[in-house]
Amino acid sequence: MNLSVVKPKKRNSLSRQDTRTAWLFIAPSLIIILGVALWPILSTFFLSFFNAPSGLNQPRIFNWGRNYIDLLADPAFWQTISRTAYFTIVSVVLELLAGLGIAQLIHSRPLGWKFLRFSLIIPWAVPTIVSGAMWRWIYSGDFGALNGLLMQLGLIKHYIPFLTKPELAMNLVILADFWHVVPLVALILQAALAGIPVELDEAAEVDGANAWQRFWNIRLPMLRGAILVALIIRTVEAFRVFDIVYIITSGGPASSTITISYLTYLTTFPYGKLGAGAALSFLISIFTLTLAIIYIRFLYRPEENQ
Amino acid sequence: MHSIKKSVFLMVALVTILSVVGCAPAAAPKGPVTIHVLTMDQAGLKPADIDQIARDFEAANPDIKVVMEYVGYDYVHDKITTGMASTPPAYDAAMVDVIWPDEFIKKGYLLDVSDRVTQDMKDGIFPAAWNGVTRNGKIYGMPWLMDVKYFMYNKDMLEKAGFTAPPKTWEEMLDQAKVIKEKGLAEFPVTWSWNQKEGVVCDYTALLFGNGGAFLDKDGKPVFNDAKGVEALDWMKKTIDDGLTNPNAVSSDEMAVEADFLAGKSAFAVNWLFQYADSLDPTKSQVANQVAFAPMPVFKVGADAGITGSSVDGSSSFAVMATTPNPDAVWKFLTYLASNEVQMKYSASMLPIWMEDYKGAKLDTLKAATPSNPVTVPAFMAQFPYANERPTVPYYNEASAALQMAIQEVLTGAKPAQQALDEAAAKWVELAKTQ
């Protein structure tokens, strides 16, 4: 028998065919995304090395990374980063916990679970601008529903001007964003839960595991992939939060809700410093990329998901 | 074979990417010229009024089509800067607030219209309105709205509290407010727009000048952090601490002030002219016919120093954007929009900028034009001469942002007034250096 004649031809060409088909499917959207996004990305990166005031025929002076140095040396920049970090950490932790809870609830198929899953879409479907305006009215210190509720429950004697308190304002914006975004996390996790074979759970129950042990040892590890997805999506989005801040507080009171994206907006548009704004955008990208890499390092286990 | 296919694929991909990148709108067809105009949807004329004016103009000028766009005041500046980044610009004309011409002229956004302005226009419109659009002897827009912040009060509340006349000084206002509060007529008798936006700087301007202070000295150096500026800011904080100013003021804009005042929750409210017309509208107001104007108070110290009045200029103009392909059509529309006939017709929402309307028989016509004019016209004539300007510098937005933050830090108790204002003044000096 001449084994060298036996070539594993079929397996090679099949996987090559799979890869080629995969590329063919991705190609159209990849081309459009690259076309629309690539030029602005490169152009912005280039711009971040210039002193570039907005306007027609304004001189653009190359300044050797001065924009980056000035930003990294500015204490206001780091204060903004720490505010953004606070927003991100609190948001993501709350959203994961609540999302997991809601996913479990739906998964356990209580009475009306279909309605629950359907109604979950509504906060997610409302445009952020609309939900921001709605929450601003809810928090209003003159006419707000939150004040009305607390008053009726007898918890407060006078209406509280929530949005004028720097300590509270950030947390209230987090709450508004949480309401808007938790459905996404819940649905991602619920879909993953539905994919866990029910026999595992039943077998564990038979072996005497209680609900918490089943959750901790079976469900959670099998949800690792979905949690990773939700974590990355939500961390990147929370770090870059802009529109809900713009609508509810416009960065106030006393700049307590100015996040890094809001600072980038202020630098670029009202202040007209395009170079510094471009540098800020890239710094944000570097921060979020770092976070994503950290997550993948710690959580991505490809062999477990097969 | 495989490598040829691969390179063909790559070529196709590259060409497609480049063509997507290079996408541009098709050239405009010949025919009627379309001009895009951007303005704010608050203060001045209501959108429905301006739409009607645009339709009337189109009827008289069938070769020009006008497309109006309305956004909140806080968004106009950004839309202009973004709009000017494309060729042709997204807007052919835009409303320019009194604080923007220096920045926009430096950026080359505004068309010099000095030789389009006729002598009639120069003679007929208030000089103050021309000052807003003229720099270095060149004119950069058509004046349109002359607005100033007014001091409005609730007559009925004052009567019930036992006062027959509105206050002349801020100190007197606080005395009246205390009584109104004690009698339970209003929990927070005074309301302001002190949120972290331009509105708080407008209010501070009126208070600062009313205390005998100023933003800059004659050399252009910031002086708002002197004793008078600090006093004015400390006074603002104290009114909140004493429970006389609505604490929500720290997150309120002018619309929130109006909502509060027209719901009958405050006795005194500083706001632009639009609040008065809205106060007469039963769908918006619960205090119709209870609202009156009084000259904006000043501080006792200011009055002693000879300051007889103080407010802030909030005028605006319409400018032709420098890169518009149709400057003639745009100018035609702008002069129509600001013309005396059109302004007289819509004088309920916005008082005219033409001097002749305030004299003789025309003044009577103006006052009789709408139910609110008999009240607003004298109020305007009395208050506008005291309209103080905010600094006319190209970096105004960033300077104002620093001042907004300083004021907010003081109002939320984060910093003492002297420190916050000193930091803002230092920022102004730094900004001036980079120009």
Q: Find the CATH number of the domain harbouring B170.
A: 3.40.190.10
Q: Which residue among B103, B260, B414 places its CB closest to the CB of A142? A: B260
What domain count does chain B have?
2
Taking the C-alpha atoms of residue B424 and residue B408, their distance in angstroms, rounded to an integer, is 12
From chain B, the residues in CB contact with A143 under 8 A are: 259, 263
- Residues from chain B that touch A140, judged by Cβ atoms under 8 A, are 248, 256
Question: Which residues make Cβ contacts (< 8 Å) with residue B361, sequence separation at least 6?
Answer: none
Cβ distance of A253 and B19 shorter than 8 Å:
no
Yes or no, beta carbons of B21 and A38 under 8 Å apart: yes
Q: Give the mean pLDDT of B49-71.
A: 95
Q: Are residues B352 and B420 in the same domain?
A: no
Does some domain include residue B184?
yes
Distance separating alpha carbons of residues A250 and A225, to the nearest angstrom: 36
pLDDT in tens, B200-233: 999 999 999 999 999 999 999 999 999 999 999 9
Bridge partners, residue B142, by sequence = B318
Q: Is residue B1 part of a domain?
A: no
pLDDT at position B136 = 93
One domain, residues B275 and B239: yes
Set of chain A residues whose Cβ sits within 8 Å of the Cβ of B9: 27
Note whether B281 and B407 are same-domain residues: yes
Over the stretch B284-339, which tens digit does the pLDDT of each residue have?
Answer: 999 999 999 999 999 999 999 999 999 999 999 999 999 999 999 999 999 999 99
The pLDDT, as a whole number, for residue A306 is 40
Average pLDDT of chain B, as a whole number: 92
User: Is the CB of A266 inside 8 Å of chain B's CB atoms?
Assistant: yes
* B217-240 CB burial, b ≥16 within 10 A, e <16: eeeeebbbbbebbbbbbebbbebb
Same domain, B237 and B307: yes
CB contact under 8 A, A53 and B107: yes
Question: Which ipTM score applies to this complex?
Answer: 0.86
Q: How far, in Å, are A183, B113, B128 from residue B137 at the CA level?
A: 60, 11, 14
Of A142, A252, A271, the CB nearest to B196: A252
Alpha carbon of B394: minimum distance to chain A alpha carbons (Å): 10
For residue A10, pLDDT over 60 is answered with no
Choose among A143, A161, A269: nearest Cβ to B78. Answer: A269
Residue bearing the bigger pLDDT, A31 or B13: A31
- Quote the pLDDT of residue A17: 84
Domain-located, residue B249: yes
Whether residue A254 and residue B409 make contact (CB cut-off 8 A), yes or no, is: yes
The model's pLDDT over A129-175, given as tens digits with 9 standing for 90+, comes to 999 999 999 999 988 999 999 999 999 998 999 999 998 999 999 99
CA B104 – CA B96 distance, rounded (Å): 9
Residues B167 and B278 in one domain: yes
Considering the domain boundaries, does residue B111 fall inside one?
A: yes
The pLDDT of residue B329 is: 95
Q: Has residue B257 been placed in a domain?
A: yes
Among residues B338, B355, B381, the one where a domain terminates is: B381
**Does any domain span residue B353?**
yes
The sign one gets for the Cα dihedral B233, B236, B237, B238 is positive
Measure CB to CB from residue B20 to each of A32, A55, A271 and give the nearest one.
A32
What 3 state SS string does A23-39 have? HHHHHHHHHHHHHHHHH
Contact B343, B352 (CB under 8 A): yes
Per-residue model confidence (pLDDT) at position B386: 94
pTM to 2 decimals? 0.87
Q: What is the pLDDT of residue B97?
A: 95
B 80-109 → A contacts, CB under 8 A: 81-82, 84-85, 103, 106-109
Q: What is the per-residue pLDDT for A15? A: 80
Residue A40 has pLDDT above 90, yes or no: no
Q: How far apart are the first and last CA of chain A?
A: 36
Q: Are B291 and B221 part of one and the same domain?
A: yes
Q: Residue A256 to residues A164, A173, B261: CA-CA distances in angstroms?
A: 10, 11, 28
pLDDT in tens, B286-300: 999 999 999 999 999
Strands ordered across the beta sheet of B291-294: B190-191, B268-271, B150-154, B291-294
**Beta strands at B268-271 and B190-191: parallel, antiparallel or unpaired:** parallel
- For chain A, the structural domain boundaries read 69-305
Q: Is B2 domain-assigned?
A: no
Q: Do A141 and B247 touch (CB under 8 A)?
A: yes
Instruction: Please give the Cα distance from A281 to A261 (Å, whole number).
Output: 8
Task: Residue B180: give the domain boundaries.
Answer: 150-312+395-433
Query: Are the Cβ atoms of B256 and A142 closer than 8 angstroms?
Result: yes
The pLDDT assigned to B44 comes to 79
**Of A76-80, B332-336, B344-348, B380-384, the least confident:** B344-348
Residues of B in contact with A164 (CB under 8 A): 247-251, 411-412
Q: Closest chain B residue to A140 measured between Cα atoms?
A: B248
Query: In this complex, is the C-beta atom of A13 within 8 Å of any C-beta atom belonging to chain B?
Result: no
Contact B398 A255 (CB under 8 A): no
Please state which of the four CATH numbers 3.50.50.60, 3.30.450.20, 1.10.3720.10, 3.40.50.2300 is assigned to the domain occupying A69-305: 1.10.3720.10
B220 and B194 assigned to the same domain:
yes
